[in-house]
Chain A
Amino acid sequence: MPHRTFFWFFFPSGLAMLLFIGLPIISSFFQSLHIEPEQILMEVEKCDPFGCKTETKVDIEATTKLQEEQPLGRFNGLGTYGDRNHLALNEIKEAWTNSSSIAEFTDILLNLPFYKALLFTLTFCFAVTPPVVVLGFIVALSVNTITKSLKGPTIFGVILPMIVTPLIGSLVLFWMIDAKGILGSFIQFLFDDPNLSLKSSSQLTWITLIIYGIWHNTPFAFVVFYAALQTVPQDPIEAAIIDGASRYERVRHIVIPHLYPVATFIILICLMDNFRVLEPIIGFAAEGVAQSLSWMIYNDLRSENKMLFGSAGATSMLTIIGVAILLTPVLIRTWREFRTER
């Protein structure tokens, strides 16, 4: 394609990306450098059904005036990034000098909100993605071999977990794994332990979330693999059959190498998606034991008080950096393959 044609072809989506992705990112970045202006407090008399007393209140007039002078808030530089609720630089430095062993240091580190969330997010990413790729591939292979008349309904059944809205899907499962739900009581029966509850311990909640993630993401891998399977050249397969290759050997030596770039693509998308995990945490009411980076942003904007824009902006930036770091190896690999193919 000539560069000129490509430019005009790409221009509309490029513009949309700039407007709806690029600019918001830049704006979040600027917001993350600022904190709210100082709140002016005053003592006022306050009366309610339980009586009158003097209480502290925000002086609205004075504070509004400050806000109008500095609509973005006070400039704080990278202060928000380094504070205890984000990278916690001071806390880490202190922990490093004061802790006597690596284990103690790790303990302190993983007690800080950002690192706690990062640990869960990464665990989720790396526990969900490989099974999704493998399962998606196996399901695609199986669906590809069944008779034509059954294919339609089977495909619909297989992609159902992806069609169900994540929040609804996780809520349905949340009720099913309840101690009185169908899955919950079956598991109790299976392990012969009437007090076993999937919701009560962090480890079991993590495992539940990961299984949910696999369940929800597999259809995506399936769809892509299934489409790619239709492009596998038939000649080498027929040749292999004539040479007496078993089904396993055909898959191993012809199909898998053909699907390799597709697998890279799926890994890329899955890692990216799973790094932003949020809905299952809300659906499973798992906020207490499993926090992700996206949940931190959600919590900053939806906590009891004013929205903490600076804090949410900083976490967003750190998430973007995280995604970039995570994807670098895969991208480098794709680039190399692209170069050698040329």
Chain B
Amino acid sequence: MKKLLIALLFTFVSTSAYAGGHSPCGVTDGSIKILANEFTTYRIFMDEVKSCAGPSADFSVTHSVDHNKLQVAALSANPAEFSAKLVTNGSITTLMNDNLIRPLDDLVAKYGSALQDNQKIVIDGKIYAIAFMANAQHLWYRESILNDLGIAVPSTYEEVIAAAEKIKASGKMANPYAGAFKSGWNLGQEFVNMYLGHGGDFFKAGTAEVSVNNAKGVAALNMLKRLTEVSNPDFLTQDTNAVKEEWESGNVALMHVWNSGAASLLDDEGDQAIKADTRLANSPTVGGGSKPATTLWWDGFGIATNTSDENAEASFRALLGAATSTEMANANPNATIWLIDGYSPGDTAGPVVDAANRGATPYPSLPYMSLLHGALSTELVEFLQGNESAEKALADVEAAYVAKATEQGFL
């Protein structure tokens, strides 16, 4: 009797699993293992990928803010730890350098008819990634606070500082500005923004020779220093997610963070009064420049070289399903700017479009850029703490870069 019951139960469970095994994206076998950054928009995207892969698919996703640090080690192994990686114009170069992501032309030809042309990341004639969103950092402000003090929305960083100082003087907030200044990738990125805003070039044209120790670099650093002076004194420990928490706690009236932050800042959780008061503004210019001091980013996915063709196909189809889902895009119009066909942008898209129109530079996709970014991450701290001069800090950045680039064979 007991055996019969077990047998019955078993049949029931297995049939129901079979019945639920339908995959909307046509994934039949192969496992899907994805490595991705951690923020709300990616979570929305991954939910769509998961439902597209279907309930019976062998699906897992690892969200980590340290994705950039993990990717090379994880994808170099053969077979790789992950079958796919969400990439950006910043992280794809590193993977390309080591041949860790595969060309997708055959898969695109087979399944990619719903893709728009600008979603295809084509390098040297081959498609290496599929983009699904565009992102940029820009200014955010608290409307009521600016209105109360009669401050116009800042359009330059000089005005941002004046506004922050006014808010500070009014006693409303002790540290009204916030940016992701955490020592590491975030801090490097703040310098990249500010240096490009000053019209700087990171390398001597066409070479891997660095050149940031110049008047523009010094001006960029001094501007960062002034911003940190109106920021929380713990700025060196705050990454983007920590800055968003500060915002949601009402401690900050001006910040420069990602457009995709809207997904968590403007959702139904947290203090609704702060949400109602949150406004997006264009990224400011700096030092009289005309380009906004920010970088343009696309986010997309690449498929690992060191994974079986079966896993590659399953991962591609599931990810593609989400990257062409007009439904997902239009259900979350403010989560980011989707590059998906049929998407009608929400009211938060403005600042990114504005940045693109005013000629903001895409983050440089150069093979040696990440070495420079790494050097910036660690060598700028002492300057921001007031322990060394801007020139010295930039000289240190250059020296650290040269040592690393020499070891890597670029110089």
Contact = CB atoms under 8 A, between A and B. Distances in A.
Q: Do A and B bind each other?
A: yes
Contact of B96 (A60, A83, A285): A60
Contacts of A304: 68-69, 94, 185, 370-371, 373-374, 377
Contacts of B68: 304
Contacts of B362: 48, 50
A307 interface: yes
A45 B237 contact: no
B182 interface: yes
Contact of B72 (A41, A43, A47, A306): A306
Contacts of A48: 89, 118, 121-122, 131, 298, 362
Nearest to B184: A287
Interface string B348-379: 00000000100000100111001101100110
Contact of A200 (B234, B367, B374): B234
Interface stretch (A131-139, A191-199, A227-235): A191-199
Contact of A56 (B131, B183, B206): B206
B42 to A, nearest CB: 17
Contact of B404 (A44, A85, A201, A287): A85
Nearest to A52: B122
B19 interface: no
B43 interface: no
B407 A36 contact: yes
B347 interface: no
B184 A305 contact: no
B58 interface: no
A80 interface: yes
Contacts, number: 168
Instruction: Tell which of B134, B234, B407 has the most Cβ of chain A within 10 Å.
Output: B407
B364 to A, nearest CB: 8
Nearest to B399: A84
A305 B370 contact: yes
Nearest to A289: B381
A311 B404 CA distance: 8
A204 to B, nearest CB: 10
A151 interface: no
User: Which of A39, A52, A74 has the most chain B CB atoms inside 10 A of its CB?
Assistant: A39
B297 to A, nearest CB: 9
Contacts of A83: 403, 406-407
A202 interface: yes
A311 B374 CA distance: 14
Interface string A46-58: 1111101001111
Nearest to A84: B403
A178 B242 CA distance: 12
B268 interface: no
Contact of B234 (A39, A52, A179, A303): A179
B72 A46 contact: no
A178 B370 CA distance: 31
Nearest to A43: B206
Given A35-B407, A194-B174, A200-B233, A49 B373 contact: no
Interface in B59-105: 66, 68-70, 72-73, 89, 93-94, 96-99
A105 to B, nearest CB: 15
A106 interface: no
Interface residues of A, number: 56
A294 to B, nearest CB: 15
A288 interface: yes
Given A289-B236, A308-B407, A46 B122 contact: yes
A111 B72 contact: no
A91, A286, A306 — which one has the most chain B CB atoms within 10 A of its CB? A306
B367 A56 contact: yes
B44 interface: no
B339 interface: yes
A328 interface: no
Contact of B371 (A38, A50, A305): A305
Contacts of B119: 49
Interface string B122-157: 111100000100100000000000000000000000
A279 to B, nearest CB: 15
B120 interface: yes
B296 interface: yes
B102 to A, nearest CB: 11
B224 to A, nearest CB: 14
B303 to A, nearest CB: 16
A301 B387 CA distance: 28
Interface string A273-287: 000000000000111
Contacts of A41: 208, 367, 410
Contacts of A194: 174
Contacts of A310: 407
A49 B118 contact: yes
A111 B118 contact: no
Contact of A55 (B234, B235, B339, B365): B365
Of B66, B97, B237, B377, chain A has the most CB atoms within 10 Å of the CB of: B237
A311 B234 contact: no
B125 A45 contact: yes
Residue among A41, A48, A58 with the most chain B CB within 10 A? A48
A262 B173 CA distance: 55
B385 interface: yes
B125 A111 contact: no
A199 B237 contact: yes
Contacts of A322: none
Given A47-B121, A48-B121, A80-B407, 7 more contacts: A35-B407, A43-B206, A48-B122, A60-B96, A199-B233, A287-B184, A304-B373
Which 8 pairs, one residue from A and one from B, show the smallest C-beta to C-beta distance? A288-B183, A200-B233, A304-B370, A44-B124, A288-B381, A285-B237, A302-B69, A36-B409
8 contacts: A35-B406, A45-B122, A49-B131, A57-B367, A58-B367, A83-B406, A85-B403, A310-B407
Interface of B: 66, 68-70, 72-73, 89, 93-94, 96-99, 118-125, 131, 134, 174, 182-185, 187, 206, 208, 232-237, 296, 298, 339, 356, 362, 365-367, 370-371, 373-374, 377-378, 381-382, 385, 387-388, 392, 396, 399-400, 402-404, 406-410
Interface of A: 35-39, 41, 43-50, 52, 55-58, 60, 64, 73-74, 80, 83-85, 91, 111, 113, 178-179, 194-195, 197, 199-202, 285-289, 291, 299, 301-308, 310-311
